[in-house]
Amino acid sequence: MPQRIICKGCGAVLYKGIELRSPSEVIAQFGGHCPNCGKKLEFSISSVEIKAVQQ
């Protein structure tokens, strides 16, 4: 099932796809900050939200 990783600060979708990825991996891709709101993303699931995409 596809997943989404969302910035809890602004709701921007940081990752969306079928492949399951860890939040820390995705956060590292953005250099530790949300590309949309600039919020510092901790390397934990507490600063992002993971949701299953139902389509």
Q: Which neighbouring-strand residues pair with 6?
A: 13, 49
Neighbours of 45 (CB within 10 A): 14
3 makes contact with Zn ion (CB under 5 A)? no
34 makes contact with Zn ion (CB under 5 A)? yes
Which tokens hold the place of 23?
């939040």
Among 4, 10, 7, smallest CA distance to 32 is for: 7
Given 6, 39, 47, 49, the residue binding Zn ion (CB under 5 A): 39
Which among 14-22, 24-32, 39-47 is the span making contact with Zn ion, rule CB under 5 A?
39-47
Given 2, 10, 44, 46, the residue binding Zn ion (CB under 5 A): 10
